[in-house]
Amino acid sequence: MIPLLVILGFRKHNGRIVRFWIPVFLVWLLLLPLVLVLLPFAFIALVVMKLNPFRLFKAGWQVLSGLRGTRVEVEDDNAFVLIRIL
Cβ-proximal residues to 6 (8 Å cutoff; 6+ apart), any chain? 21, 22, 24, 83, 84, 85, 86
pLDDT for res 45: 94
**pLDDT per residue as tens digits for the range 11-70:** 888 888 899 999 999 988 999 999 999 999 999 999 999 999 999 999 999 999 999 999
pLDDT for res 13: 80
Say yes or no to pLDDT of 83 above 90.
yes
